[in-house]
Chain A
Amino acid sequence: MGDQITKDPASFISHLELDQPDKTFLDSNELIINMGPQHPATHGVLRVILKLDGEKVLGTECVIGYLHRGVEKIAEHRTYTMFNPYVDRMDYVAAVSNGLGYCEAVEKLMNVQAPPRANYIRVILTELNRLASHQLWLGTHALDIGAMTPLFYTFRDREEILKIFEKYCGARLTTHAFRIGGCLYETYDGFEQDVKKFIDFLPPKIDEYEELLTTNRIWVERTKGVGKITAADCVALGVTGPVLRASGVKWDLRKAQPYAAYSEFDFDIPIGQSGDTYDRYLVRMEEMRQSLRIIRQAVERIPEGPIMAKVPKVIKPAVGEIYHSIEAPKGELGYFIVSDGSTQPYRIRVRPPSFVNLQALDLMVRGQLVADVIAVIGTLDIVLGEVDR
């Protein structure tokens, strides 16, 4: 932490020399393989060019942008309100987090604050969304490593979360749950019961996932020591989220710079020691439990009151700029908004956690085996919609 980067900066990048002619296995020992963009384990349209020595990875290069939709350009041509649904389409498995970050950034720029009840609803939904995202991650990650069954278990339980979302705002995936200034919808009748029921429902299920994996010899062998990254390298590469925490850095924006109502809750930040895939797995599993803790506190203490701050019909922030970031399930999700005083943002920059975390892939897999690339892509928990925006 805070220590200097002792490594040569060039060591963070591998040069593949792709223009060399493709040779056989033996004469050069090098084989270039294209993993993706259509590949079952790259979680979307990620293309990884792998340079292999037999099964050993000499270097990788990510080719991204297959899902680039120009969200930042679109933002410049939409009003602040109109842009809100677009952010859901970036990290589509954690749409609520995206919306929260955006709404809070604009609120900050306008210097308004959402009322406390809205903040509690936001926390509940965002943490539910974090659970959903981690569950999806666990299922697909385990599937990549060959364990089929957890996928179905996590999808079964994720369904309960999506049901709550659906009841709350009508959408399951791209929820568009929040509005600038608070929430549009009051909680439906029985929302609190549903959430409470869910909090009691999930812990045994998390134990069930852990039962299948945590002490499974093959799982441990496949993940322990794989894709190690040190805290210093994480910081140097800007990696955040569970990946950073698994390397031993106790840093979570919910604690470091609390937003919404997070300062009012009591929860722990799980950290790992070795920064390998197994630690990241444990950290995320513990994070799920901590999320449940937050939700429990929030739902028990949810205050009455308005859910919408007084914001003008036409949102027209003053000239200026703001950077606001939240702890999305994948890491630090930041919005940098420049306003020129008109109804449309002058520039919106999204700082996507997946995009920055994906940079670490090369460092994490170099010297490991092909099968580990799969494990590491899974453990980085990237969503290509967010990487490419």
Chain B
Amino acid sequence: MLDYITSYLSSNTTPGQAGNVFWALVYIMVVFGGVSVAVMAMNWLERKALAHFQIRLGPMRVGPHGLLQPIADAIKLLTKEDIVPSEADKFVFWLAPLIILCASFTVYIVVPFGPTHAITDLNIGILFMLGVSSLSVLGVVMAGWASNSHYPLIGALRSSAQMISYEVAMGLAVVSAILMTSLNATGTGTLSMIGIVQAQQSQQMWFLFKFFPLGFIAFGIFAIAMVAETNRAPFDLPEAESELTAGFHTEYSGLRWSLFMLGEYAAMIAVSSIAVTLWVGGWMRPFPNWLTGETWDLVFSLIPGFLFLGLAFIAFIGVARMPKHPYFRVQTIGLAGFGAVLGLIGLVLFAPPVRDRIQDIFWFCAKVAVFMYLYIWYRATFPRYRFDQLMRVGWKVLLPVSIGVLILTAIMGVLF
């Protein structure tokens, strides 16, 4: 049994491919736990960042700087009354949030946090991700229909039309990236998520800069389409607060509503990780071919530790700036503790064995975090598109452009 567990560690592959159930389960738990934590952190960060965009402070009361706000929210949502409209289709109403949640969490099976840090590496990885994430449309449609009310229905119709439309452009943009993976000696590409990153590694270039500006345009299309896919601003028509109150989840409350939110944020992280994998080099550290050599490797491997130490430092500044009043004592201690934990993590990350293992995961998460920040930035900046404009952008701009990019990429691939 112990052999079974340890044998994986010596193998150089993902637990799914190694067929090691134990490590697969461990990875599943770690990834899903990590994603749940990330969603909660994202919730807090979005509120804080958005607030600072809007010259507010955001949550400040629950914990130091509102750090415990997501937990308070979770408790509030869990204990809230769960209302099911009397005319609703109970079963479908119950099922819809679960489908969205499952769809957006299942895709993490193939997300490659590192060359071996994925639950499994499917041969059809990217296809699987697109397919499973497209299943969340079902949840949206079901939620809108089951609520038996006008606003959710319109929201669901809008949302499904939107998601289906942008899936097309998104798929074509993805195809042009996949096409780039086939530009090697054998001429065969791959759909595997790990394979795609490895292709970028072997071609010594992020696909973002491949055939400039083709890769860039394809990435841009994907970046727009992924915002639309996840129903976020400025494409948040299905949830357009001012028009449809809350779109397809108008009638949901409490726990079920929180499942929608959980699913939405998880989907955001998921599509961002697709973008990172396809165009921005996945787990690769910046400039792996330019800044080579031992020294640079060391420098880049120290960055995670320094980042956490920096965060710890910021936390301690916050501690120093806390009002010196008995009322704030608990908060001050809490923030200091938080800073200490961050610093400890930073120190642990300096340890050579940890440093080497955690690097890939760190760079992957850092890249995803940039996308997450973009999501927040969009939300603070842009007004909302109108439905016909949204459709026009999807079908008349993104789709032709993505087809053109695909054809040009193919031509370039043949020529060079």
Contacts and interface: CB of A to CB of B under 8 A. Distances in A.
A-B complex is real: yes
Interface of A: 31, 33, 39-41, 55, 142-149, 151-153, 156, 212-213, 216, 218-219, 221-222, 369-372, 374
Contacts of A216: 381-383
B233 interface: yes
A147 B240 contact: no
Overall SS of chain A's interface: helix
A204 B351 CA distance: 51
Contact of A370 (B50, B233, B243): B243
Select the residue from B237, B241, B382, B389 with max chain A CB neighbours within 10 A.
B382
B188 to A, nearest CB: 41
Interface stretch (B51-59, B124-132, B271-279, B313-321): B51-59
Interface of B: 50, 53-56, 150, 154, 233-234, 236-237, 240-243, 245, 379-389
Contacts of A152: 54-56
A98 to B, nearest CB: 27
B159 to A, nearest CB: 13
Contacts of B55: 152-153, 156
Nearest to B233: A146
In the complex, the 9 A-B pairs of residues with the closest C-beta atoms, listed nearest first: A146-B384, A41-B242, A152-B54, A147-B383, A146-B383, A145-B383, A144-B242, A371-B386, A218-B383
Given A40-B242, A152-B55, A218-B384, 15 more contacts: A33-B150, A40-B245, A142-B383, A144-B242, A145-B383, A146-B383, A146-B385, A148-B50, A149-B380, A151-B54, A213-B383, A221-B386, A222-B383, A370-B154, A370-B243
B386 A372 contact: yes
B380 A369 contact: no
Contacts of A221: 385-386, 389
Given A40-B241, A55-B387, A146 B236 contact: yes
A218 B242 contact: no
A149 B243 contact: no
A33 B241 CA distance: 16
25 contacts: A31-B150, A33-B150, A33-B154, A39-B245, A40-B241, A142-B383, A144-B242, A145-B242, A146-B234, A146-B382, A148-B50, A148-B379, A156-B55, A213-B383, A216-B381, A218-B234, A218-B384, A221-B385, A221-B389, A222-B384, A222-B385, A371-B237, A371-B240, A371-B243, A371-B387
Contacts of A372: 386
A369 B385 contact: no
A219 B382 CA distance: 8
Given A33-B150, A152-B56, A153-B55, A41 B384 contact: no
Given A33-B150, A369-B387, A371-B386, A148 B242 contact: no
A223 to B, nearest CB: 9
Contacts of A222: 383-386, 389
A146 B388 contact: no
Contact of A212 (B56, B381, B389): B381
A147 B53 CA distance: 12
B380 A148 contact: yes
A41 B379 contact: no
A204 to B, nearest CB: 14
A148 B241 CA distance: 11
B385 to A, nearest CB: 6
Contacts of B53: 149
Contacts of A142: 383
A41 B243 contact: yes
Given A221-B385, A369-B387, A146 B240 contact: yes
Contact of B242 (A143, A153, A212): A143
Nearest to A372: B386
Contacts of B50: 148
A39 B241 CA distance: 9
B358 to A, nearest CB: 36
A213 B55 CA distance: 17
Given A31-B150, A221-B385, A374 B380 contact: no
Contacts of A371: 237, 240, 243, 384, 386-387
A240 B174 CA distance: 53
A206 to B, nearest CB: 16
Given A31-B150, A40-B241, A156-B55, A369 B381 contact: no
A77 to B, nearest CB: 40
A135 to B, nearest CB: 14
B376 to A, nearest CB: 11
Nearest to A220: B383
A33 B152 CA distance: 12
A374 B237 CA distance: 13
A372 B388 CA distance: 11
